[in-house]
Structure 1
Amino acid sequence: MIKLFIRYINLMVITIFALVLLSFMLPFFFPGDLLTNISGITPQSLEQRQALEKAFALNESIFVQFQVYLSNFFAGDWGVSSVSQLNLYDEIAYAFPATLELMLYALFVATFVGIPVGFLSGLKHHNPADMGVVTFSIVGYSFPVFWLALVFITLFCLQLEWLPMSGRIDLLFEVKHITGFVFIDIILSDLNNTKEAIENAFRHAILPTLSISIVTTCLFIRFTRRSIMDVMQKGYIIAAKSRGFTQWQIFIKHSFKNALIPILPILALQISTLVTNAMIVETIFSWPGIGNWLIQAIYQQDYPAIRAGMLVVALFVLTLTITLEFITRAIDPTKDETARAAV
């Protein structure tokens, strides 16, 4: 276990170093003034330019500049936006919880719908209901996320007028930004109409969540179905049946845990997909997350914001993916041995 932990820590450190190095190099490839690309500030005088060059060590060697960049990054000094002139650390800290919130909603739906449906389909495989589930999972996984989002807007917002088409909550509700998670902030804001605010925020979250979760739900259904079908053919399951255990007892005592183990790596692989899909959906639904913020930065050619935002998203995906992969290997050490034997 200790060797496995050290190996994953080394992998994370090396990958983080590569990402930070790439982020450091980006301003040299952006068009325009290098100093503005790094700091986000357009110097208005020679004295200001010299002060900024000294602050970012632009007159020093590239190694000193990288050291200064590392020091500033880990200190939370990420510069300012060249458009809004606001601190980038504060802007990202404001936008990122909204993206994380949307991902958690989608993951919750995918987990508590996809996995149970997959189990039921796998236990009763090759019957008409199972064929319907398989068809739905294949079709649902084939739909592009942006297309689903546009269809939902057209149907539920424009035609039926059941749900709102943009934002996290109506502007009528004065919700303070405390944690960045809208439902928590509603409760902490101590509003007079808390119940109405929660209901309004829930209605705003439905369509973005469905747009992201359908693809992941369909993937969970397919892998869970295949996993439970494979487990039910194992020798210890056949032995349990011969001893007179019911199918429900076999499922609870033997099948459930063993069928879940192969699903954990799929969850790790889905992190990057969830982040990408969330960023796309945020733009369509005007959800104030890091994806929408980054798209606006690209449109406005806000290079310091692009640099900081891309690095934060990459570090987030890397950390979650490696952590889930480590947990998977720790739970099922035989997976690593099987992979090495196969090689």
Structure 2
Amino acid sequence: MLHYFLKRLLGLIPTLLIVSVLVFFFVHMLPGDPARLVAGQDADEQTLALVRSELGLDKPLPQQFVSYFTHLFEGDFGRSIRTRRPVSTEIAERFMPTLLLTLTSMVWAVVFGMAIGIASAVFRNRWPDRLGMTLAVSGISFPAFALGMLLMQIFSVGLGWLPTVGADSWKHYILPSLTLGAAVAAVMARFTRASFVDVLHEDFVRTARAKGLNERIVILKHCLRNALIPVVTMMGLQFGFLLGGSIVVEAVFNWPGVGRLLVDAVAQRDYPVIQALVLMFSLEFILINLVVDLLYGVINPTIRYS
């Protein structure tokens, strides 16, 4: 497993290099002039020239490309065009709120999603199954921004129980995490149900029941482990999407996370921030996929890595 792990880590390097090249040229293709946004719409050409020189945008694109990669290999992501602060500082301040929100959303989504999925599989084609799948379809179909505004209207405006914006206390996490985790819980329920339905018809399940084992032991001990591999794969992908920052949810709740930072960076054509965030999102997905692959061996010891 160690050899497999090290080989996968080495595979990060060419992937991240390709992503870096693509995102560099992509952001420079965006319409709009960052210097104009910084200097203001009424700035004259002399002021614009000074701003472009200060930002390094007056240099030819190949020279900017070389400069970007030279600083990148040194661990320097540059300075934000919008705030003139180091990009690493900008991202570090926004990363923890997004991470905590993602973890909160994933915890309740996994618990409720797996519970609904297992119950739907065990009581297949009966009312728990129909109710669970109705909730799952509703969770997937209902737009996140609409759910967020509905929850705010009920629990913040109507009842006055929970705050609407900010991330200052644990109460601020309730509504955004419910909004962010609803679709994940719905997908989790459907994946868990489908996986459990397949496992419930396996020979080892019939054997366990024939031995007289309690149905709860059969479900939780024998079926759960064998049904988890596709579920864990989906969990890893969903966690990567959430950690990348749910732009819609962070915008609705004015959440100070990386998703909101990306929206602001695109609006202001903040090239260094956009490049660093996309690179960070790519690294997150690669590492999460690696962790998921390693978890396969923990869930099913018969899996061998090569």
Structure 1 residue identity aligned to 2:8: Y
Give the match for residue 43 of structure 2.
Answer: none
Q: What's the counterpart of residue 197 of structure 2?
A: 229
Tell me, yes or no, if the aligned pair for 1:137 and 1:221 is still in contact at 8 Å.
Answer: yes
Q: Which whole-Å CA distance do the structure 1 matches of 2:31 and 2:140 have between them?
A: 39
1:241 — aligned with what? Answer: 209
Q: Distance in 1 between matches of 2:97 and 2:150?
A: 23
1:138 matched to 2:159? The reply is no
Alpha-carbon distance in structure 1 between the residues aligned to 2:189 and 2:261: 32
Superposed displacement of residue 330, structure 1: 7.4
Residue type of the alignment partner of 1:12: L
SS at match of 2:82: coil
Instruction: Give the aligned residue type for 2:197.
Output: M
Deviation at 1:141? 1.3
Q: Which residue of 1 aligns with 2:235?
A: 267
Q: Match for 1:242: what amino acid?
A: A
Q: Among residues 283, 295, 300, which one is paired with 2:263 in the alignment? A: 295
Q: Tell me the equivalent position of 2:173.
A: 205
- Where do 5+ consecutive residues of structure 2 fail to align? 40-45
1:233, 1:31 → 2: CA distance?
Answer: 56
1:218 pairs with 2:186? yes
SS at match of 1:85: coil
RMSD between aligned residues? 3.5
Contact 1:8 1:326 in 2 (8 A): no
Q: Which runs of 5+ in 1 are unaligned?
A: 170-200, 338-343
Distance (Å, rounded) in 2 between the aligned partners of 1:48 and 1:147:
41
Corresponding residue for residue 175 of structure 1:
none
Q: Which residue of 1 is the match for residue 8 of structure 2?
A: 8
Question: 2:111 is matched by which residue type in structure 1?
Answer: F
Provide closer, same or farther for how the CA distance between residues 329 and 16 of structure 1 changes in structure 2, counting only shifts above 3 A: farther
* SS of 2:81 mapped into structure 1: coil
Per-residue CA deviation, residues 22-56 of structure 1 (Å, 9 max, x unaligned), is: 2333454245779x69xx9xx98999988986xx9
Show CA shifts across 1:210-262 (max 9, x none). 00111101111111122222111101111222222221232243112112122
The aligned residue for residue 83 of structure 1 is: 82
Relative to structure 1, the CA distance from residue 286 to residue 133 in structure 2 (aligned partners, 3 Å threshold; closer, same or farther) is same
1:270-323: CA deviation from partner (whole Å, max 9, x where unpaired):
234324662221111011001111212222333332232232223223322343
Task: Give the superposition deviation at 1:126.
Answer: 2.2
Residue pair 2:20, 2:275 contacting (<8 A) in 1 also? no
TM-score normalised by length of structure 1: 0.74
Counterpart residue number, 2:69: 70
Deviation of the 1:122 alpha carbon = 1.6
Instruction: Specify the alignment match of 1:22 in structure 2.
Output: 22
Distance 1:32 1:203, change over 3 A: closer
Alignment of 1:1-343 (within 5 A): 1=1, 4-5=4-5, 8-9=8-9, 11-26=11-26, 28-30=28-30, 62=62, 66=65, 68-169=67-168, 201-275=169-243, 278-328=246-296
Q: TM-score, normalised by structure 2?
A: 0.82
CA separation of 1:164/1:138 partners in 2, compared to 1, >3 Å: closer, same or farther? same
Name the CA shift for 1:332/1:248 in 2 (closer, same or farther; >3 Å).
Answer: closer
**Percentage of matched positions with identical amino acids:** 30
Contact 2:97 2:256 survives alignment (8 Å): yes
